[in-house]
């Protein structure tokens, strides 16, 4: 039995070394999203920089058509991961009207299946309005999520992680409000381009983890938007192009390929593979 004390320190050292190696090997992955499809040739070029791309399942905000439709097979063959996104309703579209959440959730499921995305993939509902969710908005998100879950997919939410003042002087974020209400029923893609914590339109070798966004439950963090929002990005304005947009280094801005930047712990945040 005399050899046991010498084995325990050895096992402890091995365990610490293993954990240290695992932490050192932890990698974050860079992705982008934009409303309009960049084009097949551009996507081949962008693949050198990005691991995944946003992919709209319906018409993006303000658009009458979805230019991403039918591109999944080609992009998957090129090794792209995906952030599957469905445009949600704003408060003006919900106030005083029947809740369309279930109908929109079913539409997102149909589109995902038609595009060939496997069941179990995460579909993110795009909620652009910040601050505390009003009752109609929250009911809409819940109904949408339930419909997506019934359809065999996992519901997620794209929402703001920027603090907004309440009437009583406290602050709230859309992300925290929804997380407090729904907890782990949603996967969270957080939008927070405020500098700090956002680095601006930057491509650091060591990417910040999603929880640096200020939301410890974030799976994805959108840290730069095009065009930049001046009220949030004054301290990192020089990282953006003179026109206020974010571009990929080495790609001519005249091509118009401005985009939003995201970071995730996995190269396929919607888990489509």
What CATH number is given to the structural domain containing 88?
A: 3.20.20.80
Query: What's the pTM?
Result: 0.88
The whole-number average pLDDT for the span 53-62 is 96
Q: pLDDT band at 27, cuts 50/70/90?
A: confident
User: Could you identify the residue written with the tokens 């695992």?
Assistant: 22
Instruction: Express each pLDDT in 66-80 by its tens digit.
Output: 999 999 999 999 999
Judge whether 10 lies within some domain.
no
For residue 24, is it within any domain? no
Residue 1 lies in a domain: no
d(CA 247, CA 35): 15
Residue 209 placed within a domain: yes
Average per-residue pLDDT in the chain?
Answer: 89
Report residue 120: phi and psi, to 5°.
100, -15
Across the strands, what pairs with 164? 172
Question: What average pLDDT does the segment 252-270 reach?
Answer: 94
Closest residue by Cα to residue 50 from 28, 17, 71, 20: 28
Would you say residue 11 lies in a domain?
A: no
> What DSSP state is assigned to residue 261?
E
Q: Does position 18 have pLDDT exceeding 70, yes or no?
A: no
What mean pLDDT is predicted for residues 50-61?
A: 97
20 inside domain: no
Q: Is the pLDDT of residue 3 over 60?
A: no
Q: From the centroid of its chain, how far is CA 150?
A: 22
> Which residue do the tokens 């907890």 mark?
183
pLDDT grade, residue 24 (50/70/90)?
very low
The domain total for the chain is: 1
Neighbours of 21 (CB within 10 A): 10
Question: What tens digit of pLDDT does each residue of 39-49 get?
Answer: 999 999 999 99
Is 110 domain-assigned? yes
Domain range for 223: 30-264
Residue 191 lies in a domain: yes
Q: Average pLDDT of 134-157? A: 96
Alpha carbons 251 and 228: distance in angstroms, whole number: 18
């Amino acid at each position: 039995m005399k050899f046991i004390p010498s084995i325990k320190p050895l096992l402890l050292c091995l365990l610490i070394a293993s954990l240290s190696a695992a932490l050192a090997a932890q990698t974050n992955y860079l992705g982008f999203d934009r409303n309009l499809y960049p084009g097949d040739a551009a996507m081949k070029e962008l693949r050198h920089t990005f691991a995944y791309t946003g992919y709209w399942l319906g018409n993006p905000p303000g658009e009458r058509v979805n230019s991403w439709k039918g591109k999944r097979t080609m992009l998957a063959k090129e090794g792209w991961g995906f952030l599957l996104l469905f445009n949600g309703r704003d408060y003006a579209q919900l106030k005083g009207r029947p809740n369309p959440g279930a109908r929109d959730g079913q539409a997102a499921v149909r589109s995902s299946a038609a595009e060939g995305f496997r069941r179990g993939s995460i579909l993110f509902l795009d909620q652009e309005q910040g601050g505390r969710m009003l009752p109609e908005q929250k009911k809409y998100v819940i109904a949408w999520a339930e419909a997506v879950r019934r359809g065999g997919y996992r519901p997620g939410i794209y929402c703001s992680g920027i603090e907004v003042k309440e009437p009583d002087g406290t602050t709230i974020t859309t992300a925290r409000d929804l997380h407090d209400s729904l907890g782990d029923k949603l996967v969270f893609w957080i939008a927070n381009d405020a500098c700090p914590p956002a680095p601006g339109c930057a491509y650091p070798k060591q990417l910040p983890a999603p929880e640096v966004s200020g939301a410890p439950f974030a799976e994805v963090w959108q840290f730069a938007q095009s065009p930049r929002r001046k009220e949030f990005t004054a301290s990192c304005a020089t990282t953006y192009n003179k026109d206020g947009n974010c571009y990929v280094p080495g790609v001519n801005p005249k091509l118009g390929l401005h985009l939003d930047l995201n970071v995730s712990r996995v190269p396929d945040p919607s888990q489509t593979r």
